[in-house]
């Protein structure tokens, strides 16, 4: 009828690749184990400095796991070794480092991804080299959306964190009175996009969304500007160091303000940098804790090495069969990302609870 707006029915795709389990059906499973090896090498792309603000605790966990698997006999008496490399400018030197691991050092797997950028970088290499990637640190869902059957991610994806944070806002007094602050680095931006999408679907918008550059020092000015909006809560999505800076300045302006955040606030470096200002801060956490390890990143680094060693012991030194073993040993969704679910945590008396 004239003048009547007709809305087209939603179209169902003929095939949704996100629901089809990723498989590798190519050759390689019949290749014999190499002879005359003196060690079993696993690539590790990440800093090996435990004090590194972003990647340090990943290495802490990985190094501890390496000691344990070697103390337990390695692989048929051969020691496991982590072939480590890192560049603080991964797009410039990271790809060549991972290529060297695969083709020169002949590693049996690559552990890479202290964040979304490095996971994407490593994925491009393993997709061509047909080597398994174990990604311990990325929550960016697009890492898995390239449909590379060799890439496995250990952390819950951003949509799960967004739904946890957003769901809390929907049922709280802050629903119509909160400010969203997000940094423009890759991981913070990806999480902010997922949270914004979740809120939009539920017809909720922040009083204001402020984007800040990573490493910006104007947190005091930002806190004063936000205070003028009299929000009930602030959501801060930034890296550990930036999150700590934001929290410190906001606490100086209003000690009672509710502050919520993402998994960056679950990092040990955030807790140390924020100090007493972190008291009462709430954030989503991947849910992984283990006695003796400082944060979930250390647990994920630990699990990555244990998973790799267990798969080698199960499948032998064969890259294709190793990939099959990883697929069998973990709890993955169709896109090879962990099905683990994040939970809320709060800083109380200087500790995550």
* pLDDT, position 174: 78
Q: Are residues 297 and 274 in the same domain?
A: no
Per-residue pLDDT of 41-94, as tens digits, reads: 999 999 999 999 999 999 999 999 999 999 999 999 999 999 999 998 888 888
* pLDDT, position 304: 98
Q: In the chain, what's the furthest Cα-to-Cα distance?
A: 80
* Within a domain: 12: no
Q: Are residues 36 and 167 in the same domain?
A: no
Residue 329 has pLDDT above 70, yes or no: yes
Work out whether the CA dihedral 131, 132, 134, 139 comes out positive or negative. positive
Give the residue-averaged pLDDT of 133-142: 97
**More reliable by pLDDT, 1 or 197:** 197
Percentage of residues in the chain having pLDDT higher than 70: 95
The domain tally of the chain equals: 2
Q: Are residues 137 and 223 in the same domain?
A: no
Residue where a domain stops, chosen among 285, 318, 340: 285
Banded pLDDT at 17 (limits 50, 70, 90): low
Judge contact between 118 and 90, C-beta under 8 A.
yes
Q: Are residues 127 and 28 in the same domain?
A: yes
* Within a domain: 347: no
Q: Are residues 188 and 131 in the same domain?
A: no
* pLDDT, position 18: 65
Judge contact between 247 and 259, C-beta under 8 A.
yes
pTM here?
0.93
Q: Are residues 189 and 253 in the same domain?
A: yes
CATH number for the domain spanning 264: value is 3.40.50.2300
* pLDDT, position 3: 55
* Within a domain: 249: yes
Residue 7 has pLDDT above 80, yes or no: no
Per-residue pLDDT of 138-188, as tens digits, reads: 999 999 999 999 999 999 999 999 999 999 998 888 787 999 999 999 999
Mean pLDDT (the chain) is 93
* Within a domain: 53: yes
* pLDDT, position 14: 57
Q: Are residues 259 and 112 in the same domain?
A: no
**b/e 69-101 (16+ beta carbons within 10 angstroms → b):** bbeeebbeeeebbbbbbbbeebeeebbebbeeb
Q: Are residues 30 and 174 in the same domain?
A: no
Q: Are residues 23 and 139 in the same domain?
A: yes
Range of 251's domain? Answer: 158-285
């Amino acid at each position: 009828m004239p003048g009547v707006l007709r809305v087209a029915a939603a179209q169902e795709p003929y095939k949704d690749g996100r629901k089809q389990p990723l498989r590798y059906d190519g050759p390689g499973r019949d290749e014999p184990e190499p002879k005359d090896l003196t060690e079993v090498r696993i690539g590790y792309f990440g800093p090996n400095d435990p004090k590194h603000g972003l990647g340090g605790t990943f290495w802490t966990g990985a190094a501890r796991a390496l000691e344990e698997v070697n103390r337990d006999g390695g692989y048929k008496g051969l020691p496991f070794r982590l072939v480590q490399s890192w560049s603080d400018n991964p797009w410039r030197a990271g790809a060549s480092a991972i290529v060297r691991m695969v083709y020169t050092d002949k590693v049996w797997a690559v552990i890479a991804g202290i964040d979304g950028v490095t996971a994407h970088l490593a994925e491009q290499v393993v997709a061509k080299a047909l080597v398994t990637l174990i990604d311990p640190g990325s929550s960016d869902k697009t890492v898995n959306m390239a449909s590379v059957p060799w890439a496995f991610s250990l952390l819950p994806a951003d949509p799960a964190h967004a739904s946890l944070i957003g769901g809390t806002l929907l049922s709280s007094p802050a629903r119509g009175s909160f400010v969203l602050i997000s940094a423009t680095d890759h991981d913070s931006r990806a999480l902010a996009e997922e949270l914004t999408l979740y809120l939009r679907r539920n017809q909720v918008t922040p009083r204001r969304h402020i984007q800040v550059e990573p490493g910006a020092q104007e947190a005091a000015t930002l806190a004063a500007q936000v205070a003028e909006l009299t929000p009930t809560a602030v959501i801060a999505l930034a890296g550990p160091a930036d999150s700590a800076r934001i929290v410190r300045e906001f606490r100086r302006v209003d000690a009672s303000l509710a502050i919520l955040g993402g998994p960056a606030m679950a990092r040990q470096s955030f807790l140390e940098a924020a100090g007493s200002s972190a008291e009462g801060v709430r954030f989503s956490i991947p849910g992984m804790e283990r006695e003796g390890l400082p944060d979930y990143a250390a647990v994920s680094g630990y699990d990555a090495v244990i998973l790799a060693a267990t798969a080698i012991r199960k499948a032998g030194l064969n890259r294709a069969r190793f990939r099959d073993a990883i697929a069998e040993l973990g709890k993955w969704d169709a896109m090879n990302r962990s099905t683990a679910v994040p939970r809320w945590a709060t800083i109380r008396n200087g500790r995550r609870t």
